Amino acid sequence: MRQQRILAAAALALAGILAFAQPAEGPKVVASTSWTAAFARAAGAGEIVTIAPLELRHPPEYELKPSDLAAVAGARFLVHSGYERFAKRLAETAGAEGLDVLAVYTDNLPSKFKVEARKLALAFGTLPAYEAWEKGFDAQAEAMRARVAAAYPVKRAVVHKYLATYAEWLGFEVVGTFGPGEGSPASLLELAKAEPVLVIDNYHNVSGRAVAEATGAPRVELINFPGRDGTRSIEDVFAYNELLLVAASRR
């Protein structure tokens, strides 16, 4: 796994350059987590202040500090998803400061991600920037899907529940799901009978170690939130997940 992380971090250099090469001209935005920040960045936001630290495995559990509330100063918008532990207090503070509070449905399925990012762009007044981003993202996402499909002649996978639609979009045949939490012996037996070639786990809510032991299939921990190993944008997330999936196919 350490070698995979090194490879992933190195390969993210190009994705990171693409994500940050354009000058920021959009509004200043406060984002609750790195995931909502990725939506704001795709939408064309300028300066983005992210509340939950990037290094957290599960950012929504972050406990808001009084000093975090100062981050709303000078911002125009707050973007959150609503399920963060600190979302209500942050939204109340932002509203009192005159910020527009916008909620997004967080999902990395490309069709859903684009709907939410476009919604933000309309609010930001940055639709041309979003549309330029969309073209590049569509090309990257389709190329990723093709390379992952080529790496798996057999596509039977058991998948963390929160990643099932993402795995289906990638072309996997989802023959079972698990999590969140540990499964019962009976559920593990059923997943083993499905004979998957891969276990797709969720880095932010790991539940598949016992599944991998029961099935004998390699396990990979995909990410939703940017932050792991230097990831920052949605492009980084897709590039990172692709590298992990392709590496797992060679085990």
**Residue spans per domain, the chain:** 26-125, 144-248
List, for residues 91-112, the tens digit of each pLDDT value.
999 989 899 999 999 999 999 9
pTM confidence score: 0.89
pLDDT mean over 43-61: 96
> Within 13 Å, how many C-alpha atoms sit on residue 135's CB side?
5
pLDDT at 3 over 70: no
pLDDT bin (cut points 50, 70, 90) of residue 25 is confident
Decide whether 26-125 matches 144-248 in CATH topology: yes
Sign for the pseudo-dihedral over CA of 232, 45, 202, 181:
positive
pLDDT at 24: 55
pLDDT at 16: 46
pLDDT mean over 7-24: 45
pLDDT mean over 191-204: 97
pLDDT at 115 over 50: yes
pLDDT mean over 9-16: 46
pLDDT bin (cut points 50, 70, 90) of residue 74 is confident
pLDDT mean over 2-8: 48
Q: Domain 26-125 - what CATH class?
A: alpha beta
User: How far apart are alpha carbons 219 and 137 in whole angstroms?
Assistant: 27
User: How far apart are alpha carbons 83 and 111 in whole angstroms?
Assistant: 21
List, for residues 209-226, the tens digit of each pLDDT value.
999 999 999 999 999 999
pLDDT more than 70, % of the chain: 90
Q: Domain 144-248 - what CATH class?
A: alpha beta
The neighbouring-strand residues paired with 199 are 158, 219
Are 25 and 215 a contacting pair, CB within 8 Å?
no
User: How far apart are alpha carbons 228 and 28 in whole angstroms?
Assistant: 24
pLDDT more than 90, % of the chain: 80
pLDDT mean over 163-168: 97
pLDDT bin (cut points 50, 70, 90) of residue 21 is very low
